[in-house]
Structure 1
Amino acid sequence: MNTGKIIYTVLEVLIAVGCCLGNMLVVLALWKTKGIQQPTFCLIVSLAVADFLVGFVAIPMAVLLDGHLETSFHTCLFISCVLILLTLVSILCLMAIAIDRFLRVYIPLRYKRTVTWKHSYSVAAVCWLVAIPLSFTPMFGWHKDPPDSANSTVVCRFIEVIPMSYLVYFSFFLCNLMPLLVMIVLYSCIFCFIHGRLKEKPGNGAQNQSHIYLQKEKQLASSLALVLTLFVVSWLPIHIMNIVDYFHGPDTVPYIAFYVGILLSHANSAVNPVVYAFKIKKIKTAYVKIWRQFVLCTAENKGSSVSQTTENASSNMRSGENETTLI
């Protein structure tokens, strides 16, 4: 293994650890803190689960698919489709969050009456269910030609089984670009609506409450829009390189550029928990609360362990003194 591959593997391991720890913290924070158990945050949990699986499943598989694993053609194809699945779930969850924010701003009263945790769970489940058939389309024929022998094994590489036509036309243009355009329109409408309403001078108490509500919605929408922006910045380079490679022929883009693009796309899953910590106050408070509980529990366990050791030592000394007295 050359130096470049070693550096790539080490960076992937670090990103995977960050994905797992950070997104596990997000799930714990949103699951245990009653003050932020709102329907929108259920979708954020779904996004965090997908990001966690990127670190726990996708990144190890991506490293294995870099020529370190020999499998049958269809096994390699299945593993590659799993990698596509987690990316598609993330973007569908982001779109569901954007739609949820749009409805909450434009029809707040009706939203509060109708949208419940049950609805959000259903939407999150739909994101996963829709992503599965779209991601596994290559399994139904849109893949590169398998080896002639049914029993032969191949060195499993993503680009050796997934055709570039699928990555460009289906994965990027249909499954990524179209949802991104929808989300850009939705967030633009949200910010224009809030900006226009906040320009109005508050009058009575109801209008003051409306302004406070809109300020909070604007802050949360800004944070979620930042998550979307980072997703675009992280994933756009690899898609652009795929397009260049497809239309201008292989070897147009250097391999090292592809590796950087892959690392950047994986790093996006580790960045989201950091954004939540700095931009969403309720989640930041929940982080601090969980951290303090962890530290206190650790300190208490250490204290009880030391206390138990001291008691045992004192007990042994007393028993020794008694034995001496008896002798």
Structure 2
Amino acid sequence: MSSSPGIKPREHVDMVYISIETAIALASVLGNVLVVLVVCVNRALRNATFSFIVSLAVADIAVGILVIPLAIIISLGFNIQFYTCLFLSCLLLIITQSSILSLLAIAIDRYLRVKIPTRYSTIVTQGRAYVAVCLCWILSFLTGLVPMIGWNNHDAQRNLSGSSDFVCNFTNVMRMDYMVYFNFFGWVVLPLSIMIALYVEIFRVIRRQLNRRAEATCDGDRYYRKELKLAKSLALVVFLFAVCWLPIHIMNCIDFFCPKCQVPKFAMYVGIFMSHVNSALNPMVYAFRIKRFRVTLIKITRRCMCCKPPEPTPCPTSTPALTEKVDVN
């Protein structure tokens, strides 16, 4: 009964960790597959903004299918070769980078839409949006694979790096100066700061335009009110990203700048959970905050789960020119 007091608690913690991670993975995959399906079904959502939202959803699907299983493998400390473990760790960083770059692309897109509404459709075309999505993923791969070309702990683990006794752990292969200076300060704090500045400017421009048109009822007033509502929803996505990802990065900073400070393993698990939960939260924001998305999602649910045919979409009553002018998400 008491011959192995340290094994059973460890096994219990691992089982709880794996169970929670599995639930998060399922929720993330299901929710974000629905996001992609909604955009594919509703033609009104096939624009530049939702191209970036689909890119973000694909990254969140990858979190459920790839990142969380890899995080479980790495956390359990399996014995594999050094560079295999390093490559698996780099995949985690690639998905994170693609998420934050997609959020940055969304913020830039919304900024252009309210700053230059008359020229927006000629500057931000669907083709250019696809190119921007591809660039986000290419840049994510390049920055995420930087440890593979030398910025890693290979020298510190030289004696065990080629041995089958090497325990695969994120901190064993990844250097903390890379995680803090390059990954956190360079590719998390800086993009988040830019996004905050862009959304502040977006809200300022929209408020100014609405105040100018306070006494008039026109298409411009409707345009900026819808833009304000969508900007609030997308700013909430950025806020949730920051809340969910900053704890784990702050703990990395503590580990790097204060080596004597011990971060509790429970706190580290909570930080990992929060970073993964973020992928499951985004579809909820879209569903509750964006009406077109919510209506399409309800139609899909009725058709696929309740075996009910989708309700016909009412024909637009406005003229084509007016629809083009106030076409917002």
1:53-132 aligned within 5 A: 53-132=62-141
- TM-score of the aligned structures, taking structure 2 as reference length: 0.87
Pairwise CA RMSD: 1.6
For each residue in 1:250-291, what CA deviation from the matched residue of structure 2 results, as whole angstroms up to 9, or x when unmatched? 552111100100000000001000110000111111111111
CA gap 1:92/1:59 in 2 versus in 1, 3 angstroms: same
Which whole-Å CA distance do the structure 1 matches of 2:197 and 2:138 have between them? 25
Q: State the match for 2:32 in structure 1.
A: 23
CA gap 1:41/1:84 in 2 versus in 1, 3 angstroms: same
Report the alpha carbon displacement of residue 201 of structure 1 after superposing the two structures with TM. Answer: 3.7
Q: 8 Å contact 1:23–1:49 — kept in the other structure?
A: yes
Which whole-Å CA distance do the structure 2 matches of 1:150 and 1:59 have between them? 24
Report the alpha carbon displacement of residue 82 of structure 1 after superposing the two structures with TM. Answer: 0.3
Tell me which amino acid in the other structure corresponds to 1:197: Q
Q: State the match for 2:176 in structure 1.
A: 164
Report the alpha carbon displacement of residue 68 of structure 1 after superposing the two structures with TM. Answer: 4.3
Q: 8 Å contact 2:67–2:92 — kept in the other structure?
A: yes
Q: State the match for 1:238 in structure 2.
A: 248
Matched, 1:283 2:293: yes
Report the alpha carbon displacement of residue 19 of structure 1 after superposing the two structures with TM. Answer: 0.6
For each residue in 1:84-142, what CA deviation from the matched residue of structure 2 results, as whole angstroms up to 9, or x when unmatched? 00000000000000000000000011111232211111110000001111111100111
Q: 8 Å contact 1:73–1:147 — kept in the other structure?
A: no
Tell me which amino acid in the other structure corresponds to 2:226: K
Which whole-Å CA distance do the structure 1 matches of 2:146 and 2:298 have between them? 43
Matched, 1:138 2:150: no
Which whole-Å CA distance do the structure 2 matches of 1:203 and 1:272 have between them? 36
**SS of residue paired to 1:155:** coil
Q: State the match for 2:163 in structure 1.
A: 152
Structure number with the higher helix fraction is 1
CA gap 1:224/1:149 in 2 versus in 1, 3 angstroms: closer
1:295-314 aligned within 5 A: 295-297=305-307
**SS of residue paired to 2:167:** strand
Q: 8 Å contact 2:107–2:199 — kept in the other structure?
A: yes
Q: 8 Å contact 2:213–2:221 — kept in the other structure?
A: no
The aligned length equals 297
CA gap 1:272/1:204 in 2 versus in 1, 3 angstroms: closer
- TM-score of the aligned structures, taking structure 1 as reference length: 0.87
Larger radius of gyration: 1
Q: State the match for 2:11 in structure 1.
A: 2
Which whole-Å CA distance do the structure 1 matches of 2:94 and 2:69 have between them? 15
Which whole-Å CA distance do the structure 2 matches of 1:79 and 1:13 have between them? 18
Report the alpha carbon displacement of residue 150 of structure 1 after superposing the two structures with TM. Answer: 6.2
**SS of residue paired to 2:78:** strand
Which whole-Å CA distance do the structure 2 matches of 1:227 and 1:144 have between them? 34
Which whole-Å CA distance do the structure 1 matches of 2:268 and 2:216 have between them? 58
CA gap 1:250/1:156 in 2 versus in 1, 3 angstroms: farther
Which whole-Å CA distance do the structure 2 matches of 1:287 and 1:61 have between them? 30
Tell me which amino acid in the other structure corresponds to 2:175: P
**SS of residue paired to 1:19:** helix
Q: Percent identity?
A: 44
Which of 17, 26, 42 aligns to 1:33? It is 42
Which of 281, 288, 292 aligns to 1:271? It is 281
CA gap 1:188/1:150 in 2 versus in 1, 3 angstroms: closer
Which of 184, 188, 199 aligns to 1:187? It is 199
Which whole-Å CA distance do the structure 2 matches of 1:295 and 1:150 have between them? 50
Question: For structure 1, which segment, 194-203 or 102-111, has the greater mean C-alpha deviation from structure 2 after superposition?
Answer: 194-203
* Gapped regions of structure 1 (runs ≥ 5): 300-327
Tell me which amino acid in the other structure corresponds to 2:287: A
Tell me which amino acid in the other structure corresponds to 1:185: A
